[in-house]
Structure 1
Amino acid sequence: LIASRNKQVSSERGKEKYRGDLNLEPWRLAAIAELGLGPVRLYGSYSFNSLHKTDRTGLEQ
């Protein structure tokens, strides 16, 4: 869902392209609930999986 792209051009290395996924999961599974009474509404969501990938190192939680 979220990714990063970067292109760098230099005389030493030429053209280099970088792509990254920011260490995020490609899909998110969530349930959304909404309760309303007149002009007042209350809503919330619950995610069934983690937003960040847990199999990589470097992200300490």
Structure 2
Amino acid sequence: MHKINLDLTTINDSMLDFRYHEEARSSFKSLFQERLLIRTHDEIDGKMVYYYHIVKNPETSQ
């Protein structure tokens, strides 16, 4: 089994602080281009939460 080593604190600290979903979506689309795919959304505690996939290899993605 392949183990992924992630430092979530470092990732979180490097994230930009967006005020609106459209700001975040625009920034991530600019960064990841066609590799960023919205999958679904949900409402949690009265706030919308959006879930995206970042595709590593578009040629093997479905």
| TM-score for both structures, normalised by structure 2 | 0.24
**Whose Rg is larger?**
1
Give the structure with the higher percent strand. 1
Instruction: Flag the structure with more relative contact order, 1 or 2, with Cα contacts below 8 A and sequence separation at least 6.
Output: 1
Give the structure with the higher percent helix. 2
